[in-house]
């Protein structure tokens, strides 16, 4: 890409007039670019729709996600849009119910990855030398420890510490969400490591660039340089890697559910629904709706997330796309 | 410009036109990257030369065996292999799993039932040729009784006089223990009391005869010794972790004439779908382990002729922690039991040949016909609950149902059963029980520490007798884990085991079982396990179904590939 | 010199990691010998604990462990009691190395071209198709891809073996299942790197000088564009070489991935610590290699 806009094409009067108007701020320009990107717009609407559905699902479906019935393994029908599972529960409702947890998991993972991972990696890459060495070795150490044991220890330790406190509170809902929160903490703790590494690689490459040197000569401090120059330039890689971190976290939660360590039944998340559905794949008979629907919803959400991320990066990219 | 430059280069590869086309930087990167591909490819090519003869029979067993040392194994899948390698004084015959002579060719039992004198076979030899003598037998049993061996099942020998004291260090003289070699070919065993199932116990791996020669020399790694002397129908051809255990026919076995296959491969399989795939594509001839059947397919598989199911010596049940309210009240426990619709769980979840458990000891156990507990009775359940002070479930404290989850086969069921139970208790009793899934090891330690309210459980019997199920709940048993104690129950069990008359013994057991499941109900049996295996009857011979899921590998062969040409 | 120093720092690093792993795994509730059925006598449990030094204080156990380690002995496996950890690593590691290396090659071989192509053809249908493929690969977990591949190629069309690890044919499906998943990520990272580099100043300059698009992109932009992929490859390769639990379970491959997960779940302390040490060594060495590759690819990168 990158066809040059320079050229001698005649410019219509209206464009001349608008070009005489006061220049829009960078943010406004970026926003305009974003809106022009049709795919990104569709994705944004889709994601918005999912979030709305997730918040309002009790209004959409008459079924209760915990309602067991004797109609197990029914294929999709008018009554059950996504069919039923082994306990006769409506799969559509379960998928909507599970969306809450999966989206939360994704947000937590992305958030931790972004905040801790980017800062860590950028600092290490920019400062270099012994600090870089130390910081990256810390990342190596945390990365080498088996995450499963880490998650188990974290959850059981936190549960043990807070058990008495929770029992005293006596609230049913809080106890359930406490376990969930511990799971999130565990997942977040392992999600920022690779982001740190990738950002560090980019920053290493960037810091020897001319404009960075120029800023330094002009007397800019490292924090300012990081904020103004380095981070905007790694934003592209960061956004792309974020769009990879979210599915990675959701799939890791799925793996934990596969091992029996994840979400507590009868709660559900997309990950646990997919893990359940994966058992159904065999050559004799497949209850395809148990895997296609949760998988399909996950994939389309992540696709939308990706295209949105692409759109955002294209719109805000410092050096401009089109 | 670049091309002309490099034409005369010292790089011998420069001759190749394409090399010159590559950017310069890649010429330095390429060696590193390509070595990553050349090394593995050379691996692949060299490993191609490694060819083994194909096995006569390939069997999908459950997970990788923890050990093949009969004195320390605890799992059914390991025991299948150790029984093929190491014989005991008796072994179980394949049709009904009844004990028959093995290393001992005959025995005398004293009139009081406490002393057994075994006469060993003159032609019993190790696979390496040395004769198996009574000294070997005595040494083996003492090794099993040695705390340093650290075998979980050493307790199986505690029925022998002095064995438990010897184990705990209270007796120091081996001659005070009731295991004696009278001469080279005779072993005398003295029991604490007459034992109806002692002959069967002699076939149990903990009482197998193991080769002193290599154990004394190699310690823990004796199974890696080559050659490995075995006392059973097969020798150990190969043992590759998570890959296969290869068994080769032992020509020196006293019954080698009846060993029907030359080579048997036992594959450790973790996933039921993989086992099914291996079977469907003909790689595996037999799949045998109840955890290797995908439970969702049970209704389809059950209709196939190559799929066999049979009553199995195991019970799926749940326990109450009776030390804490509300489950310290027997009425509450009985209410929960009456609210459990066992048929629904079977028809909805397990779908196999399982049978609802109206009693604790599985059907088909030898010498016993069980007592019956009340079944599914919602009205009675509600009445009892109201009597106990929680009418309609009002005021019932928060309790949880604990179970564990794990990857692969059977464990997925526990969560599903929990969900159904949760609904049953909610619908019938109006009580909201919380589900608590914890990791397996945490589960075992929580159960031991009585850190639960209701907990999922299961038990597989060690031998074909009601005692293996009922002595679980004596107050001294480490497997009790409910906190429940009943002096009357303890007394009944003790009395039953002193009883030589099998009828009277069964009567006493029945009384005990009634206390266990009808009156006090610290446990609620849900269903009796069904065993499964699949193989093609027309082609695979030598397997019969019995309650112990006992299929000695010696007799199994494939038509047309058997040793005897049949 | 820098790299030599990094290599030497491996020793203190391994000490820290092994100690952390040692303690972490013992913190988890439940022990290696906790089972459904309890042994008949508490003495038996005591003996088991004593035999494997589990009744001693943690620091004492660690010192003894280090002593064994110095002699190259990783200790006996607590779960597979007739094997030492070294036995198991010796049998299982070569298989995982092979599988991992081939999957890595597959992932790069599919991911890099797809990423490159989608970046070059950005905005056109090739980009959308390629992106769709990459994202699908990223979102679908291994335990869904693998059975689907098996159902298709091994059972329905009977082209390939369904499981086990006995010949090169057996390697195709597991390598594909493992590699496809990572190829998606690599494609995305490659695409990002290419897009970034294509907008760099030196590219505009070279284009202005009249260099052909093809030479430009392939010879010059590529080496910088591949940097994010290289950063990611270090840990990726370490992960792949130490096996994948899901793939090894589904295809019944005797690799080391099963042991890492099961070791944690079975509380096989020696196995977990031994494998952690192995993994950490691989990781550090590969990261070193990655950092070295940076200097080759981007001459502006310098280490102090």
Among the ranges given (A63-77, B20-34, B345-359, C211-225), the one the predictor scored with the smallest mean pLDDT: B20-34
pLDDT of residue B6: 38
From B28, B32, B444, residue closest to C36, measured CB to CB = B444
pLDDT of residue B138: 95
pLDDT of residue B408: 63
CA distance B168 to B166: 5
Chains B, C: CB pairs < 8 Å = 191
Percentage of chain C beyond pLDDT 90 is 16
Contact A172 B442 (CB under 8 A): no
The answer to whether A150 faces chain B, any CB pair under 8 Å, is no
From A87, A261, A266, residue closest to B405, measured CB to CB = A261
pLDDT of residue A1: 33
Which is it for strands B400-405 and B234-240: parallel, antiparallel or unpaired? unpaired
At residue A26, does pLDDT exceed 70?
Answer: no
Q: Which helix (H) or strand (E) holds B435?
A: strand B434-439
Position with higher pLDDT, A187 vs C77? C77
* Mean pLDDT, range B113-129, rounded to an integer: 92
Q: Supply the mean pLDDT for chain A.
A: 78
* Mean pLDDT, range A178-186, rounded to an integer: 77
pLDDT of residue A173: 64
pLDDT of residue B188: 94
From B398, B406, B418, residue closest to A265, measured CB to CB = B418
pLDDT of residue B32: 57
The answer to whether B427 faces chain C, any CB pair under 8 Å, is no
Among the ranges given (A121-135, B6-20, C114-128), the one the predictor scored with the smallest mean pLDDT: B6-20
Which chain A residues are within 8 Å of C287, Cβ to Cβ?
136, 140
* Mean pLDDT, range B188-207, rounded to an integer: 91
Residue C12, token pair as written in the block: 């203190």
Instruction: Indicate the pLDDT class of residue A2, thresholds 50, 70 and 90.
Output: very low
pLDDT of residue B566: 41
Q: Supply the mean pLDDT for chain C.
A: 85
At residue B243, does pLDDT exceed 80?
Answer: yes
CA distance B348 to A88: 9
pLDDT of residue A238: 84
pLDDT digits (tens, 9 = 90+) for A204-214: 877 777 677 77
Q: CA separation (Å) from C215 to A157, B5, B26?
A: 58, 18, 14
> What residues have CB less than 8 Å from B403, skipping those under 6 apart?
B414, B415, B417, B418, B435, B436, B437, B438, B443, B455, B456
Instruction: Indicate the pLDDT class of residue A142, thresholds 50, 70 and 90.
Output: confident
Which chain B residues are within 8 Å of C82, Cβ to Cβ?
67-69, 220-224
The answer to whether A171 faces chain B, any CB pair under 8 Å, is no
Instruction: Indicate the pLDDT class of residue A189, thresholds 50, 70 and 90.
Output: confident
Which chain A residues are within 8 Å of B283, Cβ to Cβ?
none
pLDDT of residue B189: 94
Maximum average pLDDT range among B214-228, C4-18, C43-57, C147-161: B214-228
Residue B189, token pair as written in the block: 């065993």
Contact C24 A145 (CB under 8 A): yes
Do the Cβ atoms of B557 and B549 come closer than 8 Å? Answer: no
Contact B408 C76 (CB under 8 A): no
| Of C180, C158, C156, nearest in space to C247 by CA | C180
* Mean pLDDT, range C181-207, rounded to an integer: 81
Instruction: Indicate the pLDDT class of residue B497, thresholds 50, 70 and 90.
Output: confident
Residue B315, token pair as written in the block: 């019970």
pLDDT of residue B251: 94
The answer to whether C53 faces chain B, any CB pair under 8 Å, is no
* Mean pLDDT, range B316-327, rounded to an integer: 90
Q: Supply the mean pLDDT for chain B.
A: 85
List, in sequence order, every residue forming a beta bridge with B190; answer none if it has no partner.
B115
Percentage of chain A beyond pLDDT 70 is 84
pLDDT of residue A111: 86
Instruction: Indicate the pLDDT class of residue B259, thresholds 50, 70 and 90.
Output: very high
Chains A, C: CB pairs < 8 Å = 169
The answer to whether A72 faces chain B, any CB pair under 8 Å, is yes
* Mean pLDDT, range B410-438, rounded to an integer: 87
pLDDT of residue A5: 42
pLDDT of residue A90: 87
The answer to whether A289 faces chain B, any CB pair under 8 Å, is no
Backbone angles phi, psi at B533, to 5 degrees: -155, 155
At residue C280, does pLDDT exceed 90?
Answer: no
The answer to whether B475 faces chain C, any CB pair under 8 Å, is no
The alpha carbon dihedral of B386, B387, B388, B389 has a sign of positive
Q: How far is A173 from chain B (nearest CA, A)?
A: 11
- Round to the nearest angstrom and report the end-to-end CA distance of chain B: 78
* Mean pLDDT, range A250-264, rounded to an integer: 82
Position with higher pLDDT, C164 vs A210? C164
Contact A281 C144 (CB under 8 A): yes
Instruction: Indicate the pLDDT class of residue B7, thresholds 50, 70 and 90.
Output: very low
> What residues have CB less than 8 Å from C75, skipping those under 6 apart?
C65, C68, C84, C85, C270, C273, C274
pLDDT of residue A4: 38
pLDDT of residue B185: 93
* Mean pLDDT, range B4-30, rounded to an integer: 51
Percentage of chain C beyond pLDDT 70 is 95
At residue C58, does pLDDT exceed 60?
Answer: yes
Percentage of chain B beyond pLDDT 90 is 36
Nearest C-alpha in B relative to A171: B398
pLDDT of residue B406: 75
List, in sequence order, every residue forming a beta bridge with B311; answer none if it has no partner.
B530
At residue C36, does pLDDT exceed 70?
Answer: yes
Which chain A residues are within 8 Å of B437, Cβ to Cβ?
260, 264-265
Instruction: Indicate the pLDDT class of residue A86, thresholds 50, 70 and 90.
Output: confident
Do the Cβ atoms of C35 and B74 come closer than 8 Å? Answer: yes
Q: Which chains touch A (3 or more CB pairs under 8 A)?
A: B, C
Contact C265 B441 (CB under 8 A): yes
Count Cβ atoms below 10 Å from residue B85 Cβ, excluding itself.
Answer: 26
Contact A281 C148 (CB under 8 A): yes
Contact B273 A86 (CB under 8 A): no
The answer to whether C218 faces chain B, any CB pair under 8 Å, is yes
* Mean pLDDT, range A23-32, rounded to an integer: 70
Q: How far is C79 from chain B (nearest CA, A)?
A: 6
CA distance B539 to A190: 52
Do the Cβ atoms of B335 and B384 come closer than 8 Å? Answer: yes
């Amino acid at each position: 890409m990158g066809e040059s806009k320079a050229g001698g094409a005649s410019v219509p009067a209206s464009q001349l007039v608008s070009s005489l108007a006061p220049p829009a701020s960078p943010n406004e320009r970026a926003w305009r670019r974003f809106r022009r990107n049709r795919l990104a717009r569709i994705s944004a609407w889709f994601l918005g729709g999912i979030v709305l559905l997730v918040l309002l699902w009790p209004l959409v479906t008459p079924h209760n996600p915990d309602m067991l019935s004797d109609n197990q393994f029914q294929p999709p029908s008018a009554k059950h849009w996504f069919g039923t599972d082994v306990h006769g529960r409506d799969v559509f409702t379960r998928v909507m119910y599970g969306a809450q947890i999966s989206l939360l998991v994704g947000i937590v993972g992305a958030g931790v990855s972004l905040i801790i991972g980017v800062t860590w990696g950028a600092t290490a890459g920019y400062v270099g030398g012994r600090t870089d060495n130390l910081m990256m070795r810390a990342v190596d150490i945390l990365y080498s420890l088996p995450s499963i044991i880490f998650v188990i220890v974290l959850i059981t330790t936190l549960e043990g510490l807070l058990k008495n406190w929770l029992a005293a509170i006596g609230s049913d809902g809080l106890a359930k969400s406490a376990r969930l929160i511990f799971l999130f903490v565990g997942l977040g703790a392992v999600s920022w490591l690779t982001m740190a590494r990738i950002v560090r690689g980019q920053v290493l490459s960037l810091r020897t660039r001319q404009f960075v040197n120029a800023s330094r000569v002009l007397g800019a401090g490292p924090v300012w340089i990081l904020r103004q120059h380095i981070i905007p330039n790694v934003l592209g890689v960061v956004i792309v890697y974020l769009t990879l971190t979210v599915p990675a976290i959701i799939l890791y939660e799925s793996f934990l559910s596969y091992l029996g360590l994840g979400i507590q039944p009868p709660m559900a998340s997309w990950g646990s629904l997919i893990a359940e559905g994966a058992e159904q794949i065999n050559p004799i008979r497949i209850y395809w709706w148990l895997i296609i629907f949760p998988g399909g919803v996950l994939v389309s959400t992540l696709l939308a997330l990706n295209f949105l991320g692409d759109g955002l990066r294209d719109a805000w990219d410092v050096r401009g796309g089109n | 410009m670049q091309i002309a430059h490099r034409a005369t280069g010292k790089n011998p590869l420069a001759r190749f036109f394409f090399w010159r086309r590559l950017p310069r930087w890649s010429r330095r990167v390429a060696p590193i990257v390509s070595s990553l591909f050349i090394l593995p490819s050379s691996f692949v090519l060299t490993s191609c030369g490694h060819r083994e003869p194909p096995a006569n029979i390939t069997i999908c067993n459950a997970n990788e065996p923890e050990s093949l040392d009969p004195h320390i194994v605890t799992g059914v899948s390991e025991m299948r292999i150790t029984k093929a390698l190491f014989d005991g004084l008796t072994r179980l015959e394949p049709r009904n799993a009844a004990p028959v002579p093995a290393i001992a060719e005959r025995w005398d039992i004293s009139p009081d039932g406490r002393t057994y004198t075994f006469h060993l076979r003159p032609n019993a030899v190790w696979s390496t040729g040395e004769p198996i003598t009574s000294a070997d037998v005595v040494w083996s049993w003492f090794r099993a009784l040695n705390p340093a061996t650290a075998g979980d099942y050493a307790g199986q020998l505690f029925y022998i006089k002095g064995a438990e004291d010897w184990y705990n260090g209270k007796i120091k003289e081996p001659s005070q223990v009731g295991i004696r070699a009278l001469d080279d070919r005779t072993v005398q065993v003295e029991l604490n009391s007459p034992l109806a199932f002692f002959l069967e116990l002699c076939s149990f791996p903990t009482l197998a005869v193991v080769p002193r020669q290599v154990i004394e020399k190699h310690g823990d790694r004796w199974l890696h010794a080559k050659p490995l002397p075995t006392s059973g129908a097969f020798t150990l051809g190969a043992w590759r972790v998570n890959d296969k255990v290869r068994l080769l026919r032992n020509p020196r076995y006293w019954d080698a004439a009846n060993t029907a296959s030359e080579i048997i491969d036992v594959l450790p399989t973790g996933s039921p779908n993989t086992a099914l795939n291996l079977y469907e594509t003909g790689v595996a001839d037999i799949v045998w382990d109840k955890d290797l059947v995908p439970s969702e397919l049970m209704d389809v598989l059950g209709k196939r002729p190559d799929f066999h199911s049979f009553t199995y010596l195991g019970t799926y049940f749940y326990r109450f922690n009776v030390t804490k309210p509300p489950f310290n009240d027997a009425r509450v426990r009985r209410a929960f039991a009456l609210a459990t619709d066992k048929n629904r769980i079977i028809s909805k979840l397990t779908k196999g040949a399982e049978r609802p458990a109206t009693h604790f000891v599985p059907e088909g156990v030898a010498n016993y016909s069980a007592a019956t507990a009340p079944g599914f009775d919602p009205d009675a359940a509600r009445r009892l609950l109201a009597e106990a002070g929680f009418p309609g479930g009002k005021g019932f404290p928060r309790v949880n149902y604990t179970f564990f989850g794990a990857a692969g086969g059977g464990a997925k069921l526990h969560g599903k059963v929990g969900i159904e139970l949760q609904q049953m208790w909610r619908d019938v009793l109006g009580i909201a029980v919380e589900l608590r899934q914890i990791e397996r090891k945490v589960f075992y330690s929580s159960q031991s520490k009585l850190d639960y309210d209701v907990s999922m459980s299961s038990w597989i019997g060690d031998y074909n007798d009601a005692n293996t199920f009922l002595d679980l709940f004596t107050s001294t048993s480490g497997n009790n884990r409910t906190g429940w104690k009943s002096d009357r129950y303890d007394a009944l069990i003790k009395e039953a085991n002193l009883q030589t008359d099998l009828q009277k013994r069964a009567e006493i057991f029945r009384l005990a079982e009634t206390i266990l499941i009808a009156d006090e109900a610290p446990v609620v049996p849900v269903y009796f396990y069904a065993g499964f295996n699949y193989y093609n009857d027309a082609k695979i011979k030598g397997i019969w179904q019995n309650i112990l899921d006992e299929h000695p590998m010696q007799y199994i062969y494939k038509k047309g590939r058997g040793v005897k040409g049949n | 010199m820098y790299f030599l120093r990094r290599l030497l720092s491996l020793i203190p690093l391994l000490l820290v990691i092994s100690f952390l792993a040692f303690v972490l795994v013992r913190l988890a509730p439940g022990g290696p010998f906790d089972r459904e059925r309890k042994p008949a006598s508490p003495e038996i449990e005591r003996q088991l604990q004593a035999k494997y030094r589990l009744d001693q204080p943690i620091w004492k156990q660690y010192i003894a462990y280090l002593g064994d380690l110095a002699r190259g002995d990783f200790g006996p496996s607590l779960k597979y009691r007739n094997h030492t950890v070294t036995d198991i690593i010796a049998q299982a590691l070569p298989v995982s190395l092979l599988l991992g290396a081939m999957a890595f090659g597959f992932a790069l071989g599919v991911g890099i071209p797809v990423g490159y192509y989608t970046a070059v053809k950005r905005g056109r249908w090739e980009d959308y198709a390629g992106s769709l493929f990459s994202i699908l690969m990223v979102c679908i977990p291994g335990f869904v891809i693998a059975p689907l591949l098996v159902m298709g190629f091994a059972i329905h069309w009977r082209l390939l073996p369904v499981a086990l690890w006995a010949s090169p044919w057996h390697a195709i499906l597991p390598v594909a299942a493992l590699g496809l998943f990572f190829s998606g990520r690599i494609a995305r990272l490659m695409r990002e790197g290419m897009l970034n580099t294509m907008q760099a100043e030196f590219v505009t300059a070279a284009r202005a000088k009249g260099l052909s698009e093809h030479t430009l992109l392939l010879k010059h932009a590529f080496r910088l564009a591949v940097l994010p992929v290289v950063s990611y490859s270090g840990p990726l390769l370490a992960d792949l070489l130490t096996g994948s639990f899901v793939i090894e379970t589904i295809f019944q491959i005797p690799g080391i991935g099963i042991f890492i997960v099961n070791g944690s779940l079975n509380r096989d302390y020696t196995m977990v610590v031994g494998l952690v040490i192995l993994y950490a060594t691989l990781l550090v060495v590969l990261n070193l290699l990655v950092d070295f590759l940076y200097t080759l690819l981007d001459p502006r990168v310098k280490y102090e």
